[in-house]
Structure 1
C-alpha cells in the first residue's frame, strides 16, 4: 500500500504566523494556488482513495485534489493537527512569553495542560495505521491530506513507535508538500521513498513573482 501524505496549503493562520493546532483557519489566496498545484500533481498518481482532516484548510485542499482526480473526499478526524490547547491562535513569541519553558523547544509533546500528549499522539497514529491496513489492499494507493505537525509525528511514529517522548521529529513538512510511504505487508515495514516534495509549487512561485513585478 502506498500512502501519499499531503500537507494543506498555506492558511490564513500560517500567513499571520499563528500556531494553529486544531483551530480552524481557511486557506489564504496563496494557499488556494498551492492547493490547485498539488491537485494537478495528484492527478498523475492514479490514487484509489482520498482522506482528509476535517479542518477547513485541509478539507479545501483535498477538495481541489478531488476535482482533478475524481476521488470523493472522506473526512477523517484522526488526520487533524495535533491539539495544542492554550498555545493555539498565538504566535511563537506570545507562546514563549506565556510559557517560557517552551522557548527553543518543540511545542508538540510539551506536556502543557490541555495539549495532546505524546502517548495520545502515538495512540492516534497506531489507530490510524491499523485502520488503513485493515481497510485497504496491499496494491492500493491512498492520499492523506493532513497537517505539518501530525504528518511529522506520524513519520516519527513509524520509526520509533510509542517512544515519541524520547525522539526528535526531524522532518520538514512544507505547505502542500508530498511525502510517500510504502507499507510492505509481508514484512510489516514502512519504506520512506521521499519527504517534503514541493516541485509542483514552482509554477505558484513564478506566478506570485509575476504579480509582484519581480519578473
Structure 2
C-alpha cells in the first residue's frame, strides 16, 4: 500500500500570506499549473482512491491531479484546514500588529499548548480529527493493496505527517515547514511499518517558477 500526500496549488491568499483556514481563496494560474504538472508526474502511478478536503482550493487541485483516471474524489470534512476563526482573511502581519491577537499568534507556533483561538480550533483538535480520518482511510485500504492520494492543506498536512513521525513533540510538529504547493510525499506501508519514500518533493516544478507567499 502506498499513501500519496499533497497540498493544494497556490491561491490568491497564499501570495499575500493571508490565513485561509476554512474560508476559500481561488487557485491562481500558477496554482493550476502546479496541479497539472503534478498530474503529469503521477500519470503512471497506480492510484485507486482519492480523498480530498471539501474546501474548493483542495478539491479543484484533486480534480486536476486526477486527470483522466476513472475515479471518484471522496471529500472528508476532517481533511479541512485548521479553523482560524476571526483570523481568516487576515495577513500574518495584520494578526501580529493586533495587540489582542499577537500573543496567541506567538503561542500557536512557539507554545501550542497555551494557544487559545478566537473562534477557531486548536492544533490538538486538528491533530485529533486528521489522525482519526487518516487511520480510518488506512484501515479501509491496507489489506487490499490499494494506493491512495490525499489532497489537503498546509497545517493539516503537518498533522498528517506527524502520524508517520510519531516521536515528534507538539512544538516540533508546529515547527515543521509548510510543505510546498502540490508537493508530493510518498509513504509505503509494508504491513508492519510505514516508510517515507520521498517527502515534500517539488521536482515537477518548472524552472523559473516564482513562489510568493506560502
TM-score by shorter chain over 0.5: yes
Q: Is the 8 A contact 1:22 1:81 kept in 2?
A: yes
Q: Please report how far the alpha carbon of residue 198 of structure 1 lies from its aligned counterpart in structure 2 after TM superposition.
A: 0.8
Q: Please report how far the alpha carbon of residue 119 of structure 1 lies from its aligned counterpart in structure 2 after TM superposition.
A: 2.8
Q: Please report how far the alpha carbon of residue 163 of structure 1 lies from its aligned counterpart in structure 2 after TM superposition.
A: 5.5
Q: Which consecutive segments of 4 or more residues in structure 1 shift more than 4 A?
A: 165-168
TM-score (norm 1): 0.84
Structure 1 equivalent of residue 109 of structure 2: 106
Q: Unaligned 5+ residue runs, structure 1?
A: 209-215
Structure 1 equivalent of residue 156 of structure 2: 150
Structure 2 equivalent of residue 15 of structure 1: 15
Distance 1:14 1:133 in 2: 30
Tell me if 1:191 matches 2:198.
Answer: no
Q: Is the 8 A contact 2:18 2:88 kept in 1?
A: yes
Q: Is the 8 A contact 2:4 2:186 kept in 1?
A: yes
Report which stretch shifted further, 20-29 or 113-122: 113-122
Task: Give the direction of change, closer, same or farther, for the CA distance of 1:108–1:117 in structure 2 (3 Å limit).
Answer: farther
Structure 2 equivalent of residue 44 of structure 1: 44
Aligned positions of 1:193-208 closer than 5 A: 193-202=197-206, 205=209
Q: Is the 8 A contact 1:82 1:108 kept in 2?
A: no
Task: Give the direction of change, closer, same or farther, for the CA distance of 1:198–1:167 in structure 2 (3 Å limit).
Answer: closer
Distance 1:41 1:47 in 2: 13
Distance 1:65 1:159 in 2: 26
Q: Unaligned 5+ residue runs, structure 2?
A: none
Taking only aligned residues, the RMSD between alpha carbons, in angstroms, comes to 2.5
Task: Give the direction of change, closer, same or farther, for the CA distance of 1:66–1:108 in structure 2 (3 Å limit).
Answer: farther
Structure 1 equivalent of residue 34 of structure 2: 34
Q: Please report how far the alpha carbon of residue 2 of structure 1 lies from its aligned counterpart in structure 2 after TM superposition.
A: 1.1
| Residues 137-176 of structure 1, C-alpha deviations (whole Å, 9 max, x = no match) | 3421100011111111211243237953675432340111
Task: Give the direction of change, closer, same or farther, for the CA distance of 1:37–1:166 in structure 2 (3 Å limit).
Answer: closer
Task: Give the direction of change, closer, same or farther, for the CA distance of 1:68–1:92 in structure 2 (3 Å limit).
Answer: same
